[in-house]
Amino acid sequence: MRLEEKISRLEELKRLIDVSSGRRKADLVIKGVNVVNVITEEIYQSDIAIAGNRIAGVGNYSGIKEVDCRGFFAVPGLVDAHTHIEMSMLTLSEFARIVVPRGNTTIVADPHEIANVLGVDGVRLMIDEARQTPIRFFCMAPSCVPSSNLETSGAVITDREIERLLDADNVIGVAEVMSFSEVVEGDEGFLRKIIMAEKVDGHAPLLSGKHLNAYISAGIQTDHESVSFDEAWEKLRLGMKIMVREGSVAKNLKDLIELVKKGNRNVMLVTDGDRNLNDLIKNGYLDHVYREAVKEGVDAIKALQMCTINPAEHYGLNIGSITPGKFADIVILSDLENFKVKRVIFNGKILKEGDFRRRYHYPRVAKNTVKARKISDEDVKIELNGRKIRVIKLIEGELITEELIVESLSNDINKIIVLERHKGTNRIGKGFVYGFGIKKGAIASTIAHDSHNIIAVGDANEDEYIVRAVNKLIELQGGIVVANKNGTFELQLEIAGLMTERSVDEVMKELKLLHQQLDEMGCRLEAPIIALSFLALPVIPKLKITDYGLVNVEKQEVIDVFVD
């Protein structure tokens, strides 16, 4: 720290103490509010004094500016402990404009989506944008780029790159370790990534017994993939902190509600970035997860702990409670249980709409990332040979899938392909999927976890729709395309094929049209775009597809579409 910074920090601290002790007026005082204390689990009326960007005191204070909040509740700003901003399809600036006014003031992001396309440069771009955006942004260094050796990504992040990232501002640990098999087997190359940081997030769906013990012994501290009480309880017993995910596709709150009701301080509520844009605008972000927990019978203060002090204490962040010295991120509510926001104070200032003016623009290097060549009907053809067929079966509300073995293709089974788009190899993985119900059309997208190749699903009997959708997507250099008898409909995502700098209103207009066309094609999924994106993720059981073909996730091997 430079001498000038030390002097500035010292002056700020002296001023904070002067305000706390009453020798000096606060910059801002929230008067007579009902303070929700997430430490002692009580509510009491008091003033909250703010000096600069810190809470100076809770008690009887006077300020240069005073806001009467009698009858309202003051809670800490919400903290999403595990998310992927890229999943919103918006830049961080536009994302913040939607979620911060709802009381979501802090995120702990794993930017492995953009990292799989642009590598460390992509992560640094998001960190740069965060500096100019009114949201408290903390970042975990992506540990699994790519997530598996059974897919082709646009970049590889090694232990050396993780070490360099950990020196960057607000990078606070190593992100979710998806390669649990490499950890359990003691792979030295992978373990070097884990030992880089004190905080290491996990990703261990269905892992149990001695393998789970081995995984945790490596220093991995959290998990957000539990889908049953027994699974989560075993992990909790062994010392893991459980992140209960509630998104648009992966909805685990009800299955884990008994765990959440216990109010364990080692439990957090998270979104995992799995909130489609319509849900984000209509129902909210982490504030929605909080409300859902309360509706399920969770005590409001305990639910609040899981969205504030629990993640803050786990990651060592100076937020999460309304106490002296913490950053002044405070949400004023008219209704605690329904989390109805009256105003938001962020970094000591009452937020206004003008605070969210976009100040950051992504450079050209983040665009034009689709290197694939256009394809033909012949490229996606699968010759049926009379043998039994292996089919991916979607499970509504889950990221895990099942394996179906069928004698022949019914009208409910769609074709699915993944086209490599980073290296120009045009390698195509081909298979079949049950659960979309698409007829006379197709959807293609460059959002395909985690390597984000081109993924497409369409009518198994008419390949032309998949070909049209994929080729249009290549022209756009990323996004989502629907092709059917009505034509071609598109949403361009020019940043890494994942995000756009356009406004949420523009994006929602195009998304609405895409969903209308999917409905007309018979698609019966609640969130088809998100469901599609996870079918290429070869680290969540049971059957997935990459540019290499069908993947048996449990065995971590590519398998044949046909079964003897």
Residue 417 pairs with which residues in a beta bridge?
A: 430, 456
- Tell me what the mean pLDDT of segment 135-158 comes to: 94
> Which candidate, 237, 248, 286, places its Cα nearest to that of 82?
286
Q: How far apart are the first and last CA of the chain?
A: 66
Residue with tokens 């992140």: 243
How many Å apart are CA 441 and CA 466, to the nearest integer?
Answer: 7
Question: pLDDT tier at 147 (50, 70, 90 boundaries)?
Answer: confident
pLDDT band at residue 384 using 50, 70 and 90 as cut-offs: very high
Read off the pTM. Answer: 0.92
Q: What is the pLDDT of residues 504-538, one digit of tens each?
A: 999 999 999 999 999 999 998 988 998 999 999 99
- Alpha helices per DSSP H over 119-197: 120-131, 159-165, 180-184, 188-194
pLDDT digits (tens, 9 = 90+) for 16-45: 999 999 999 999 999 999 999 999 999 999
Please write the tens of the pLDDT for every residue from 427-439. Answer: 999 999 999 999 9
Q: Which fold has domain 77-319?
A: TIM Barrel (3.20.20)
Separation CA 306–CA 540 (nearest Å):
25
Read off the pLDDT of each residue in 479-505 and give the average, rounded to a whole number.
Answer: 97
The tokens for 460 are 């198994």
Q: What is the pLDDT of residues 53-109, one digit of tens each?
A: 999 999 999 999 999 999 999 999 999 999 999 999 999 999 999 999 999 999 999
* Residues 112, 145 contacting (CB under 8 angstroms): yes
117-133 tens-digit pLDDT: 999 999 999 999 999 99
* pLDDT at residue 144 greater than cutoff 80: yes
Give the CA dihedral 229, 225, 270, 267, nearest 10 degrees.
Answer: 40
Q: Are strands 200-202 and 171-177 parallel, antiparallel or unpaired?
A: parallel
Angstrom distance (rounded) from CA 497 to CA 473:
9
DSSP annotation string for 66-108:
EEE-TT-EEEEPEEEEEE-GGGGSB-HHHHHHHHGGGTEEEEE
Count other Cβ atoms within 10 Å, centred on residue 9: 11
Pinpoint the residues of the chain covered by CATH 3.20.20.140: 77-319
Query: Using DSSP, how many helices (H) and how many strands (E) does the chain show?
Result: 18, 28
**Across 229-238, average pLDDT:** 97
Q: Two tokens at 471?
A: 């080729």
- Name the phi and psi angles at 330, rounded to 5: -130, 135
Per-residue pLDDT at 249 exceeds 80: no
- Residues in a beta bridge with 544: 551
Q: What is the pLDDT of residues 269-312, one digit of tens each?
A: 999 987 889 899 999 999 999 999 999 999 999 999 999 999 99
Mean pLDDT of the chain: 95
**Model confidence at 1: pLDDT above 70:** no
pLDDT at 247: 86
Token pair for 74: 């003051």
Residue 48 confidence (pLDDT) above 90? yes
Quote the pLDDT of residue 7.
72
pLDDT at residue 337 above 90? yes
Higher pLDDT: 114 or 356? It is 114
Give residue 91's pLDDT. 96
CA distances from 431 to 111, 543, 555 (A): 29, 11, 18
What pLDDT does 354 receive? Answer: 85
- Give the Å distances, CA to CA, from 489 to 4, 279, 370, 497: 55, 21, 19, 16
Residue 3: its pLDDT value, please? 72
The confidence score (pLDDT) of residue 359 equals 81
Tracing tokens 């996990």 back to the chain, one arrives at 202
**What gap in Å lies between CA 414 and CA 493, rounded to an integer?**
25
User: Alpha-carbon distance 495 to 365, whole Å?
Assistant: 9
pLDDT tens readout for residues 320-330: 999 999 999 99
Written in H, E and C, the secondary structure of 299-358 is: CHHHHHHCCCHHHHHHHCCCCCCCCCCCECCEEEEEECCCCEEEEEEECCEECCHHHHCC
pLDDT at 276 (0 to 100): 83
